[in-house]
Structure 1
Amino acid sequence: MALKEHLREARNRLFKAALAVIVGTVAGFFLYDPVLQALGTPIETINAQEGRQAALNFDTAASPFDLLIQISVFLGVLISSPVWLYQLWAFITPGLKVKERRTALAFIAVAVPLFLAGIALAWLILPNAVVVLTGFTPEGFANLINVSVYFAFVLRLMLAFGIAFLLPVFLFGLNLVGLVKGRQILKAWRITVFLVCLFAAMAAPGGDALSMFYLAVPLLLLFFVAIGLCLLNDRRRDRRNAAREAEVEQGADTASRIDGL
C-alpha cells in the first residue's frame, strides 16, 4: 500500500475506534450510579463496622459533573476495548509475517486475561486497602475523602495490579527474542523473589501485609511459570540450533568428499 492509503486506513480505523469509545461512554453514563455506589461500599463498611466517620466528598460545585465524565469515559474505554483492540490489530497485521502474527496473537490472548485478572484482584482487595489506610486517622477525626482523589487512587491501584500481572509475559517475550535465558533467571531466583516482593510492597496500597500477600503470591506463581516456559523454549531453541549445525557439518563433509574425488 502507498503511504496515502496507509494514512487513509489509519484514519478509518481510528474513526471506528473513536466511535466505539463514544458509544461505550454513553453506556458508561448509565452505569455511573451503580459503579459509584460500588466504589463507596468500602466507605460505608468503615462507618458500619469500624465505628469511624468517613464519607466521599465533592469539594466544588462542578466536581459531580467532572466525576461523571471521568467514570463514563473510563467505562467507555473499557467497554469498547474489544473494538479498538481489533482495529489496532487489523492495522498492524498486514505488516507482519505469518509467524509474527501467531506470536503477537498468542501474546494478546495471554496478556489481556492476565491484565483483567490483575484488575479483578485489585477490586477484591480494595475494601481491605481502604480500611487499612483510613485506620491511621487519629481518634476524634473524620475522613472526608475527595471523591476525585479517591477515584484516581482506585484507578492507580487497578493499573498497578494489571501491569504487574503483565511482567511475566514481558519476561517470556525477552526470552523469545533471545535477550534472556531461562537458566539465567532461574539462577537468580532469590533476586527474583526479592524484587517481586519489593514491587508488591510498593504497589500494595498503604503497604499493608494482606494486600502485599494477595499481589506477591500470584506474581510469584506467574513468574515461575514464565521461567518454566523460558526453559522449555531454550531447550527447543538448542535442539533447533544443534540440528542446523549438524546439517551444516554434513553439507561440509559432503562437499569435501566431492572435492576429494
Structure 2
Amino acid sequence: MAISLRRKGTTEFERAADGSMTLIEHIRELRNRLFKASLGILVGFAVGFAVRGQVRGLLSEPYCSLPSSTDPVTGKCKFIQLGPADVFLLDLKIALWVGLVVAAPIWLYQLWAFIAPGLHRHERRYAYVFVAIAAPLFIAGAVLAYFVIHKGLEFLLDFSGDDINTTLDITRYISFATNLILIFGVAFEFPLIILMLNFVGLFSARKLLGWWRVLVFIFFLFSAVVTPTPDPFGMTALAACLSLLYFVAVGVAFLNDRRRGRGREIYEGVDDDEMSQLEDEREPVAAGAPIEPIAPVAAPRPIDRRFDDDIT
C-alpha cells in the first residue's frame, strides 16, 4: 500500500515553500508550467498572425508619415522586398513578438508561480512592486522610441537631398524599428536597478546621488552607442529621460532611507581612516589610604617526631 506524503489541505505553493516537495515533483511542476506557458504563447502567436497587417502598418507609420515616402502615382507608402519570402517571414516574426506580448500575463505568471515559493514574504512584496513599475516604464520607453524613429528618419531623409530617391527595405526597416523600441524599453528599466540597490541596503540614497556626474555621462555615452540613428535628437531624448528617471529613483531612495532611519547612525559621514576624537576630561587622582604595617610571621612549632619510622 503506497503511503502519500501530501498533507491534507495544503496547496502546491505551500508544499514548495516549506520544502516538502521532492525533486521529481519539482521537475514535474516545471514541465507543467512550461507546457502552460508554451500553450499561451501559441495562442498569442495565432492572435498576432491575425493582426500582423495592422501591427506592420503601425510600425511603418513613422516612415509612411513622411512626404518623401509616398508614391506620387498611387499615394501609398513605398517599400521594397528583396526576396520573395521576406514579407512572409517578417509577418511570422511580427506574430511571434505580438504573441509574446499578448501571452505575457500567462507565461509571466507561470514563471512567478515556480520561483515565488523560494522567496520570503517581503521579497515577494517587493517583486510585485517592481513588476508593477517595470511594465509602465517599458511602455514609456517604447513610446519614446516610436517618436525617435520618426524624427530620426526625417533627419536622415532630408539630409540625403531631393536628387536622391530613397526606398527602404521593409524587412530592414521593421527590424530597425523593433530593435529601437526594445532598446529604449530595456533602458527605461535602469531606475529599478537603482531602487533595488537601495532597497536591499547595498547603497544609500546619499551615495547614489554622489555618482550623478558619472552616471549622466554614462547615460549620454550609452545613448550615443545604442541609438542607431546618427541624429542628435534620439541620443539627447534617451539620455535626458534616463537622467530624469535616475533623479526620480534617487528621490524615492531618500524617502526609503528616511522611512528606515538610515543616515542617523553615530558614525555616518565619518571616513574609515579618520581618527576618533576622545574627550579630554582630566580628573585629579586623590592620594591613596595609608597601608598598615605587616605583622611578623610567628615561628613554626617544633615537629613531634615520636611516631616517625626509623630510617636506617
Q: Please state if 1:151 is matched with 2:174.
A: yes
Deviation of 1:169 (Å):
0.6
Q: Unaligned 5+ residue runs, structure 1?
A: 243-261
| Higher relative contact order (CA closer than 8 Å, sequence separation 6+) | 1
Q: Please state if 1:31 is matched with 2:51.
A: yes
- 1:80 paired residue number: 103
Structure 2: distance between partners of 1:17 and 1:203: 31
Q: 2:35 aligns with which of 6, 10, 15?
A: 15
- 2:129 paired residue number: 106
Q: 1:6 aligns with which of 15, 21, 26?
A: 26
The residue type equivalent to 1:16 in the other structure is K
Q: 2:89 aligns with which of 66, 71, 85?
A: 66
More helix by share: 1
Q: Please state if 1:234 is matched with 2:257.
A: yes
Residue 28 to residue 49, structure 1, CA distance change in 2 (3 Å): closer
Q: 2:215 aligns with which of 192, 197, 201?
A: 192
Deviation of 1:239 (Å):
4.8
Q: Which moved more, 1:209-218 or 1:20-29?
A: 209-218
Local SS of the residue matching 1:143 = coil
Structure 2: distance between partners of 1:116 and 1:42: 17
Residue 113 to residue 45, structure 1, CA distance change in 2 (3 Å): closer
Structure 2: distance between partners of 1:49 and 1:81: 34
Structure 2: distance between partners of 1:90 and 1:9: 10
Q: 1:164 aligns with which of 176, 184, 187?
A: 187
Residue 49 to residue 27, structure 1, CA distance change in 2 (3 Å): closer
**Residues 138-195 of structure 1 deviation map (CA, whole Å, 9 limit, x = unaligned):** 5533323222221111111011111111001111111222332221221222222222
Structure 2: distance between partners of 1:208 and 1:14: 43
Scaled by the length of structure 1, what TM-score is found? 0.83
Q: Please state if 1:116 is matched with 2:139.
A: yes
**Residues 195-229 of structure 1 deviation map (CA, whole Å, 9 limit, x = unaligned):** 22332333334232322333233322211111112
**May I ask how many residue pairs the two structures share in their alignment?**
243
The residue type equivalent to 1:76 in the other structure is G
Identity over the aligned pairs, expressed in percent? 40
Local SS of the residue matching 2:167 = strand
Residue 64 to residue 156, structure 1, CA distance change in 2 (3 Å): same
Structure 2: distance between partners of 1:30 and 1:238: 54
Local SS of the residue matching 2:79 = strand
Q: How does 1:128-143 map to 2 (within 5 A)?
A: 128-137=151-160, 139-143=162-166
Structure 2: distance between partners of 1:112 and 1:37: 24
Structure showing greater radius of gyration is 2
Structure 2: distance between partners of 1:97 and 1:49: 55
Q: 2:234 aligns with which of 203, 211, 225?
A: 211
- Let me know the Cα RMSD of the aligned residues: 2.6
Structure 2: distance between partners of 1:39 and 1:19: 27
